[in-house]
Amino acid sequence: MDYQAILENIYREILPYAGEGKQADYIPALAEVEPDRFGISLRLMDGSTFELGDAHTRFSIQSISKVFALTIAISLEGEAIWKRMGKEPSGSSFNSLVQLEYENGIPRNPFINAGALVLADIMISRLQNPEQFFIDYIRKISDSPTVDYNRRVAESELSTGYLNAAIANLLKYHRNIDNGIDEVLRLYTLMCSVEMSCAELSKAFMCFARSNEEFRHGEVTLTKSNVKRINAIMQTCGFYDEAGEFSFLVGLPGKSGVGGGIAAIYPSLYSIAVWSPRLNSKGNSIMGMKALELFTTETSESIF
Ligand code: GLU
């Protein structure tokens, strides 16, 4: 298959969508991003890559970091993790407080903010230096030693993150956070502030595409079964309140972030990452979703 030609075709086909939507601005530092960037990186099992546009420009991965946090937490805690959070789609926004109240402080899934705050809490309890461990882990799986936090973005989110602070308080009230709220919010916003390029993300996500192998990194050991589970949660919960739509249009397990990135995989075949900052009303990248829809349609390579 001529993947490069397919990516180039797709780029032409999505150009009419350029200019639709706008970048996230509720985190002040994210509002400064140039909205009209677009990059895509496809990586096959043999390591060959196909790229287009700003595939090597780093951007704020935001909620895509929740997949890495889940990988670490699931590996450290095993089954016990599911006592503290569910695995069902939320059907409400990623920062919903209402649902968490109704459900007595048990987040619906690890990919809404409440769930990821619990993941941060687990890392703080289990790791000596969670901040260092988290970034080292991403550097390792992306094979990019210079990947880093953007502390200015983290500070910017922390100083305006009233809703996340409310969620953390509610979790603490229900005893689903063991450590101090400030410490948990600090690690959470740092995780979200990590900057990676599409090329680095597609490399990192290969560990979820290699579902036929055991994946190990230091203290992080992912069994085949855990890879299966993480992919299942990406499929059902990876796109905020639009996971059904993404499944319907694209048909791949994946995760998006409000920085405009989306990373997705096809088990045993490829991983793909796309970035375009303009978001739809649900918080997903408009051109990114369209590009992936066209990719799985034109290649006939969706899991369905
Ligand atoms: N740091 C962002 C927040 O908590 C992440 C949102 C996202 O990418 O979904 O609001």
Determine the residue of 92, 112, 113, 152 to mutate for testing ligand 1's pocket, defined as the one with the most ligand atoms within 8 A of the Cβ atom: 113
Residue 211 has pLDDT above 90, yes or no: no
State pTM to two decimals.
Answer: 0.96
Nearest CA to ligand 1 atom 2: 62
49 - beta bridge partners? 43
Nearest alpha-carbon partner for 15 in 62, 64, 52:
52
| Residue 258 CA, closest ligand 1 atom number | 8
| Residue 63 CA, closest ligand 1 atom number | 8
Question: Per residue in 8-23, pLDDT tens?
Answer: 999 999 999 999 999 9
The residue with greater pLDDT, 223 or 228, is: 228
CATH 3.40.710.10 holds for 3-298: yes
Determine the residue of 192, 234, 241, 281 to mutate for testing ligand 1's pocket, defined as the one with the most ligand atoms within 8 A of the Cβ atom: 192
**Distance from the alpha carbon of residue 181 to the mean position of ligand 1, in angstroms:** 17
The one-letter amino acid code at 44 reads: L
Nearest alpha-carbon partner for 218 in 112, 99, 71:
71
pLDDT at residue 213, rounded to an integer: 62
Lining ligand 1 with CB less than 6 A are 62-63, 94-95, 113, 157, 164, 192, 257-258, 283
Nearest CA to ligand 1 atom 4: 113
Between helix 130-142 and helix 113-126 the angle, nearest 10°, is: 110
Residue 163 has pLDDT above 80, yes or no: yes
Question: Per residue in 231-274, pLDDT tens?
Answer: 999 999 999 889 999 999 999 999 999 999 999 999 999 999 99
Tokens of 55: 């595939």
**Distance from the alpha carbon of residue 192 to the mean position of ligand 1, in angstroms:** 7
| Residue 283 CA, closest ligand 1 atom number | 9
Average pLDDT, the chain: 95
Determine the residue of 62, 93, 118, 279 to mutate for testing ligand 1's pocket, defined as the one with the most ligand atoms within 8 A of the Cβ atom: 62
Residue 153 has pLDDT above 80, yes or no: yes
Q: What are phi and psi of 268, to 5 degrees?
A: 65, 15
Going by pLDDT thresholds of 50, 70 and 90, the confidence category of residue 210 is confident
Question: Per residue in 93-142, pLDDT tens?
Answer: 778 899 999 999 999 999 999 999 999 999 999 999 999 999 999 999 99
pLDDT at residue 288, rounded to an integer: 98
Determine the residue of 97, 157, 281 to mutate for testing ligand 1's pocket, defined as the one with the most ligand atoms within 8 A of the Cβ atom: 157
**Distance from the alpha carbon of residue 228 to the mean position of ligand 1, in angstroms:** 24
**Distance from the alpha carbon of residue 227 to the mean position of ligand 1, in angstroms:** 23
Going by pLDDT thresholds of 50, 70 and 90, the confidence category of residue 214 is low
Residues 258, 115 contacting (CB under 8 angstroms): no
The residue with greater pLDDT, 218 or 280, is: 280
Exposure class string for 198-217: b at 16+ Cβ within 10 A, else e = bbbbbbbbbbbbbbeeebee
Measured distance CA(29)–CA(42) in Å, rounded? 28
Tokens of 22: 């706008």
pLDDT at residue 190, rounded to an integer: 98
Helix (H) or strand (E) holding 177: none
Question: Strands, DSSP E only, in the chain?
Answer: 39-44, 49-53, 59-60, 195-196, 215-217, 220-222, 254-256, 261-266, 270-275
Burial zone of 132 (CB within 10 Å; 0-12 exposed, 13-18 middle, 19+ buried): exposed
21 three-class SS: coil
For the chain, the structural domain boundaries read 3-298
**Distance from the alpha carbon of residue 256 to the mean position of ligand 1, in angstroms:** 10
